[in-house]
Amino acid sequence: MNSAFLAASLLSVAVGVPDDAADAVVIGLIGDSTVATTYGWGPAFAERFDDRTTVLNYARNGARLDTLSERLDELLAKSPDYVLIQFGHNDQKKYGPDAYREKLTDYVRRVKAAGAQPVVLSSVTRRNFGPDGKILPRTEGLRGGLPAFAEAAGAVAQEEVVPFINLYGISVDHHNRLGPEATAAYDFDPTDQTHFSPAGAAATAGLIVDELKVARPELARRLKRTP
């Protein structure tokens, strides 16, 4: 057996990552409505993976880290291999980045303790634009802006040595390139610049999948082949 292949196989076993492309893999999602099955990116994300991969979506509308704690236990009871964690939109209405950071750290450690591989995501941006045609973060009535929460999420990932997808920064850049008119196609309805139309969910899932190929490259083998 090739020594490099043997070393890679042993490493995969050591960290609990399936090393055979034929192995079944379970990916858990937990977060708020921007992830959930109603009008989040979760269903479009699940569609990107082949039939060897199961995606369990435990996200819920209106969820915060402190309100979905029991839901995380339910997800972990299903023995997922990976858990993607994305909160922030509702958390920022109730507490600031420091409390968010503490609660997110607890989630990451619980996922690790269950034998799964956590991936931390910062919140996807709300699609509100300023007069200059660029994303303008909402701050009124909140305990902190999404940029501060994204920074906190990145700090947790660094401290806990787990992959981080800065979905906030990526989605801001994405919509700044598109501009307000093109971005309107992502809206769940003309008055909703937070949740997703089917096209918006698919595009956002694509942004996440592209980052996941780098954060967890072994999952690239699980993606459906495209012509």
Cβ-based neighbours of 86, under 8 Å, separated by 6 or more: 29, 30, 31, 32, 34, 35, 59, 121, 122, 123, 124, 167
Question: How far from the centroid of its chain's Cα atoms is residue 24's Cα?
Answer: 21
Residue type for 87, please? F
Q: Which run of H or E residues covers position 73?
A: helix 69-76
pLDDT digits (tens, 9 = 90+) for 38-93: 999 999 999 999 999 999 999 999 999 999 999 999 999 999 999 999 999 999 99
What is the pTM assigned to this prediction? Answer: 0.90
- Rounded to 10°, the helix 97-113/69-76 angle is 20
Give the residue extent of every domain in the chain: 23-222
State pLDDT tens for residues 104-154.
999 999 999 999 999 999 999 999 999 999 999 998 889 999 999 999 999
**Comparing C-alpha atoms, which of 140, 139, 165 is closest to residue 35?**
165
CATH, domain range 23-222: 3.40.50.1110
Q: What integer pLDDT is reported at residue 22 of this predicted model?
A: 60
